[in-house]
Structure 1
């Protein structure tokens, strides 16, 4: 039998999915909380080991009238990807050559599995479709959606260089926690290089049904790309410029308050 939820517990649970105020059980949680923990742990493990279904994703993008192309990182298996993060950042020569001729473009659109192919499948197509349409409406050129297997964030830099893109939008499944295994993260980098530091990226995170809505995330991404093109900066350098602009116009919140580098 589940104990009644106190007003204090209810107030916490209304604003977070984190495990708080479960009540005192000596050294253990109550049965319902223990079972919920086990389920969320299983979901997190499933997300990490899940693989991108390229054929199914391609059909989804075709239905959205978005061209797409698949690549893979140097991590040839999922186990290798988990154990060797460095290989997930490398683009093999044959994969690089397969991207030649796509660009040059203003923006490279990359959707990778990252640490949750489930998140990429659930939230990636809608995000890419919304952002691609917004980019086109501004008269910029975008690449086909590049579906990247066993991909880490920095793989987007190599893809952007192969395509000849000024800016890369790398969307991929975030590391799952015990409250969310379906969260998509988006990393945007202007003029990426092979040795680009993470401090040169801007990140929009927690894109999922119970987090940041896809439409709002696409709007933030578009605003960041516009700011990058205007300042020729991204990451911490861009956040500093936006913060300075906000200080000059106090009524306008800087984008850096909505994203993290």
Structure 2
């Protein structure tokens, strides 16, 4: 059967969304159907892919970081997917490891960074280290003390607050793989909390999402995060009461533009 093209096909150049696919009779064309099945398989694989914490820890240590490998209370991936509550807390061994470290560093830290698999280890493996490099450059300029990097398996967002609290950190930043979409199996999310404590809610955190090559750039994500951190330290809060008013970076990511780029 002949493929009947869609007159809106030119719009596909502007978005990865599945629009203007055309049709063959009353059905999708074969290539569009196969492409959908491939994207669905990529999303499923991203959810179940295990994070290579050994390789990631090695790369971090080569860059001069001390690394602590932790695990949530969810013992395996199937439990993690079915019991989100277990992914929000550390297991006993990990909690003890952090407590022992905190006893040796009673002064605490300005910032704790947590890297966790979340729902897409693929996103973490591809984007966590390049983003961390941009963040580190700004941390050094502001003189913030940095806790050892925490690598966590089977983790949900809220677990970062427990890590920050146990390390006596003023702030915590979590880099976490986001739930895959059919056009974005490798989207990285960034979550920031000032004065992290167990029991914090989503309203107490700031989120910067869709960090990947086809989405939000590493430079812009780091720029927005540092702005939030500076404002949070000044106002001593984070979450819904802390708005992201960072100046937008130019398209090449080198310098900020003043004002709304849509009105320039």
Q: Which category describes the TM-score, using the shorter chain as reference length?
A: 0.7 to 0.9
- Give the C-alpha shift of residue 252 in structure 1: 5.4
What is the CA–CA distance in structure 2 between the aligned matches of 1:66 and 1:28, rounded to whole Å? 54
Could you say what secondary structure the match of 2:117 adopts?
Answer: strand
- Give the C-alpha shift of residue 239 in structure 1: 2.2
- Give the C-alpha shift of residue 66 in structure 1: 2.7
Q: What is aligned with 2:8?
A: 8
What is the CA–CA distance in structure 2 between the aligned matches of 1:72 and 1:6, rounded to whole Å? 49
1:200 to 193, 204, 219: 204
What is the CA–CA distance in structure 1 between the aligned matches of 2:62 and 2:4, rounded to whole Å? 47
- Give the C-alpha shift of residue 21 in structure 1: 1.1
- Give the C-alpha shift of residue 92 in structure 1: 2.0
Q: What is aligned with 1:236?
A: 240
Q: Deviations over 1:151-185 (max 9, x none)?
A: 10000000001101111101100000101000000
Q: Kindly report which structure 2 residues correspond to 1:76-155, keeping only aligned pairs within 5 A, or say none.
A: 76-100=75-99, 101-102=101-102, 103=105, 104-155=108-159
Q: Deviations over 1:90-136 (max 9, x none)?
A: 11232112113255111110010000001001001111222123112
Over the residues paired in the alignment, what is the CA RMSD in angstroms? 2.1
Q: Kindly report which structure 2 residues correspond to 1:183-222, keeping only aligned pairs within 5 A, or say none.
A: 183-222=187-226
- Give the C-alpha shift of residue 213 in structure 1: 1.1
Higher mean C-alpha displacement, 158-167 vs 91-100: 91-100
- Residues 1:52 and 2:51 aligned together: yes
TM-score, reference length from structure 2 = 0.86
Could you say what secondary structure the match of 1:228 adopts?
Answer: helix
Q: Deviations over 1:205-257 (max 9, x none)?
A: 000111111122111111111111111111111129x69xxxxxxx757xxxx
Cα distance 1:24–1:5, how it changes in 2: closer, same or farther (>3 A)?
A: closer
CA contact (8 A) 2:5 2:22 kept: no
- Give the C-alpha shift of residue 22 in structure 1: 0.8
What is the CA–CA distance in structure 1 between the aligned matches of 2:210 and 2:24, rounded to whole Å? 32
What is the CA–CA distance in structure 1 between the aligned matches of 2:125 and 2:211, rounded to whole Å? 12
1:174 to 168, 175, 178: 178
Structure 1: gaps (5+ residues): 244-250, 254-261
